[in-house]
Chain A
Amino acid sequence: MPARRIMPCLDVRGGRVVKGVRFRAHVDCGAIEDLARRYRDEGADELVFYDIGASPAGRSVDLDWVGRVARVLDIPFCVAGGIDSVAKARAVLRAGADKVSVNTPALMRPDLIDELADAFGVQCVVVGIDSTREADGEWRLRSHTGDAERMRAPGRRMLDWLLEVQARGAGEVVLNCIDSDGVRRGYDLAQLAAARALCRVPLIASGGAGTIAHFVDAFARADVDGALAAGAFHDGSVRIPVLKRSLGLHGVEVRDAA
């Protein structure tokens, strides 16, 4: 079993890192490369960049910053945002990203997952899933979540989609739990545990981290392979070296920060 991964997530809009609360009200958090450098030095295991303006605006990621990030980082990073074809994915990987993550474009056209897995291997293909608990108690998908005005509800059950994306060639799944996103009351452990039971590929928790205890819970109680967070890292309320020491003390194996 590899070390459990700590993954800062950088939402990128207009060439800057921003952060929203429940996918709304974005505030500026700094320059992309500065944050990439900071997290690299603090011992992050992987970085995830979401070009959150891309899918709603119908455009793909701007490759220029991908190349700049690739030059700065000696840890892996994943890029998401409007990647809806093998050609676009190839351009992002060529610019220096290690993986691509698809969310809305995969929901619009599920064959995209198969095509990416065929072209680059499943290890390059991350599928992001945005999901919320509806009134009947079922977790269902949301798409176009980069822009609250355009968010849509395709009506599908999260667990059904989770099985489908694995069958199609997802090599990793990031489960963004919308109800807990940005409010820092902890990851949605019930939803993550339900997903874990059906997920054979690495599963990454996303949405809700505010304290070190939240990370401990996600690994110890939902058995996720990685935990993604944004705001709690950006504002310094959770420091990665402290977080990793604490996880180690709780018996969660993590990579020693260099």
Chain B
Amino acid sequence: MNVAIVDTGAGNIGALQAALQRLGAEGRLVTEAAALADAERVLLPGVGAAGAAMATLRANGLTEALRRLEVPLLGICLGMQLLFERSREGEVETLGLLPGTVAPLPPAPALRLPHTGWSRLHRRGDDPLLEGVADGAWAYFVHGYAAPVGADCVAEAEHGERFAAAVRRGRIAGTQFHPERSGLAGARILQSFLKGWDR
């Protein structure tokens, strides 16, 4: 299968490639729009700041290519945040594939930020993205911003407040946690993505 990994210029792309290899797939790094044309699956990973990542995508003509994509797309961490309309991080317009605005996790006494570590996933409904993932399964997070629990949210987590841990609407999906670093639960989610969704 032709799996493209969009290179946003930062982050642990090697970790994601290794996770795909463990599932028998090869992730190919993509830096320009033309290289997405024959992709059967597209991963949008990313760490760092929303503004810098969007600038990189725009400079390489990838924003329009991602909007026009007709195959399953999985955004991870910052990559999931970019699927929404806006990010409060630098007040930037993002891809707009899902409705909503990404905002900082609100500070509170004794609440450590960024949210770093293993937190439980609380499933909402029975989405195929989470096939084989138990309610309450642990996933690994590292982030300071998050998307609200909206209509497309299929699993939520909590750090000071509840936020969207996983989303899916048709072929567009995202995880705020790192499936490539979330043990067996993460591997199952990547497997679901490789398999694709028929609803």
Contacts and interface: CB of A to CB of B under 8 A. Distances in A.
A3 interface: yes
B184 interface: yes
Interface of B: 10-15, 17-19, 21-22, 47-49, 78, 111-119, 138, 140-144, 159, 178, 180-184, 186-187
B187 A74 contact: yes
Contacts of B159: 1-2
Interface in A218-249: 225-226
A30 to B, nearest CB: 21
A97 interface: yes
Interface of A: 1-5, 45, 66-67, 70-71, 73-76, 90, 93-99, 118-124, 171-172, 200-203, 225-226, 255-256, 258
Given A70-B14, A99-B142, A225-B116, 6 more contacts: A1-B111, A74-B181, A75-B140, A93-B10, A124-B142, A225-B117
B14 A74 contact: no
B48 A120 contact: yes
B156 to A, nearest CB: 14
Contacts of A76: 140, 142, 178, 181
Contacts of B181: 73-76, 98
B48 to A, nearest CB: 4
A76 B115 CA distance: 14
B186 A74 contact: yes
A203 B187 CA distance: 28
A120 B112 contact: no
16 contacts: A3-B117, A5-B117, A5-B118, A76-B178, A93-B13, A95-B14, A96-B14, A121-B49, A123-B116, A123-B144, A124-B11, A171-B114, A200-B113, A201-B112, A201-B116, A255-B138
A93 B14 contact: yes
Contacts of B115: 2
Contacts of B187: 74
B41 to A, nearest CB: 19
B11 A93 contact: yes
Contacts of B116: 2, 123, 171-172, 201-202, 225
Contacts of A202: 112, 114, 116-117
- Enumerate the 8 nearest inter-chain pairs by beta-carbon distance, A residue then B residue, closest first: A96-B14, A2-B117, A123-B142, A121-B48, A71-B18, A76-B181, A255-B118, A3-B118
B132 to A, nearest CB: 13
A74 B14 CA distance: 12
Contact of A97 (B12, B119, B143): B12
A192 to B, nearest CB: 14
B117 A96 contact: no
B189 to A, nearest CB: 12
B187 to A, nearest CB: 6
A90 B12 CA distance: 9
A200 to B, nearest CB: 7
